[in-house]
Amino acid sequence: MEGAEAEARERVAVARDLQALGYEGFSGATSLGTSCPDFRALCARLAAELATLGTLERKREESAEVLRAGDGPCAEEEFLRQLADLLRELHCPDRALCGGDCAAALREPGACLRLLRFLCSELQAARLLRLYPRLDPNPAPLCGVGAEVGADVVQELVLTFQALGLPRPTPGTAASRQLWELHDKISELLPSLPPGFLQPLLSSPLDAPRWEALESLCQRLRDQYCCRRCLLLKRLDLTTSAFHWSDRAEAQGEAMKAVLIPIREALTPESDVSIAHVLAARADLSRLVPATSKAARRGTCCAINKVLMGNVPDRGGRPNELEAPMPTWQSRREDGGGRKAGRQSWGRKKKKK
């Protein structure tokens, strides 16, 4: 039941993408397979527009078709062969479709919908990239926040190249080429790691329901981190306010505020945790290791742990060694007025008349 509902939602999403791209006459072909000429024609039109927009790397002749949607006896076989080459050229992340037998993979439930979803997303991205130079043919240099973010990204990329032992990328190199260099280098180094190292925490393929669950999980993480940050910021505010209670702070109060206020305003309770962080989580994050375990102590043990304290003076203060104070006698009145303290006067009583 859940699989049927997920497939129905995926079909609706594909139909919505096709309508947004202008392919409105192929709504009935989305649920059919590669044996249907309409389905092959839809894929061929999407691939032809991708080739027109310059997405494909290999050069073809003007009359050559990316995908052929014929009606002959060998049309489906030729279509599947060309489709496998196209998916590899587009670097399709779906391993099932890019595997050895593309025909067998497309016979699985929902595989054709995933194929159309991938082609639609590639076409949407290609149209946006084609539209960007028209919107701003002479972009001005970045400044302000955008420049800072761009500089941070470049710095992270340079550090990544340096950590992997790759040469520093030259200015003007396409970002796609740099990413592929990183991908090739990481793929080369991964087999040298121990088994199970850097295993992702999310290993199952993500469909529409799992993406929704992932978004819900990410939102709960943001709420949890926001609550923790609010607590830490409140503690910080109380700690900084305590510094203003001293006598010296009265003279240095304005200088302290000038230093603390800009730093405090930059600290916000909102968390920057995104789905990318959740996808990048590794399986070792789900294992709780005690801080006193032998494996953990290998990283926390240091020379200061072996320093022993010497003899210290006895400061006392033990309750069992204290003697209770003895009560002292005091006179009732020490001012000397009236009867003398500590004495008793004797006399006759007067008779009552």
3-class SS at 282?
Answer: strand
Q: In this structure, which amino acid lies at residue 23? A: Y
pLDDT (0 to 100) of residue 314: 80
pLDDT along the chain (353 residues), means of 10: 71 82 69 76 85 71 62 76 83 76 76 85 84 51 47 76 81 78 86 78 83 90 93 92 82 85 89 84 76 76 80 78 73 56 51 53
CA 47, 50, 52, 54 torsion-angle sign: negative
In a shared domain, residues 188 and 244 = yes
Residue 318 counted as domain residue: no
Q: Give the CA radius of gyration of the chain.
A: 39
Strand partners, 200: 282
Total of domains in the chain: 2
In a shared domain, residues 162 and 119 = no
Residue 310 counted as domain residue: no
pLDDT (0 to 100) of residue 285: 76
In a shared domain, residues 167 and 238 = yes
Q: Could you tell me if 97 and 114 are in contact, meaning their C-beta atoms sit under 8 angstroms apart?
A: yes
In a shared domain, residues 283 and 203 = yes
| 84: containing domain | 2-135
Residue 223 counted as domain residue: yes
Residue 330 counted as domain residue: no
In a shared domain, residues 120 and 165 = no
Whole-angstrom distance, CA of residue 44 vs CA of residue 54: 15
Q: Among 264, 290, 316, which residue terminates a domain?
A: 290
Q: Among 105, 135, 165, which residue terminates a domain?
A: 135
Closest listed residue to residue 34, CA positions, set 65, 97, 80: 80
In a shared domain, residues 286 and 159 = yes
Residue 37 counted as domain residue: yes
Residue 317 counted as domain residue: no
In a shared domain, residues 28 and 112 = yes
Non-local (6+) Cβ contacts of 236 within 8 A are: 264, 267
Q: Could you tell me if 30 and 116 are in contact, meaning their C-beta atoms sit under 8 angstroms apart?
A: yes
Residue 216 counted as domain residue: yes
In a shared domain, residues 110 and 203 = no
In a shared domain, residues 83 and 202 = no
Q: CB count, 10 Å around CB of 143?
A: 8
Q: Among 244, 268, 290, which residue terminates a domain?
A: 290
In a shared domain, residues 77 and 124 = yes
In a shared domain, residues 164 and 83 = no
**End-to-end Cα spacing for the chain:** 118
Q: Could you tell me if 243 and 249 are in contact, meaning their C-beta atoms sit under 8 angstroms apart?
A: yes
In a shared domain, residues 107 and 32 = yes
Long-range contacts of 271-280 (CB under 8 A, 24+ apart): 271/221, 271/222, 271/225, 271/226, 271/229, 273/218, 273/221, 273/222, 273/225, 274/218, 275/214, 275/215, 275/218, 277/218, 278/202, 278/214, 278/217, 278/218, 278/221, 279/200, 279/202, 279/214
Residue 81 counted as domain residue: yes
pLDDT (0 to 100) of residue 142: 40
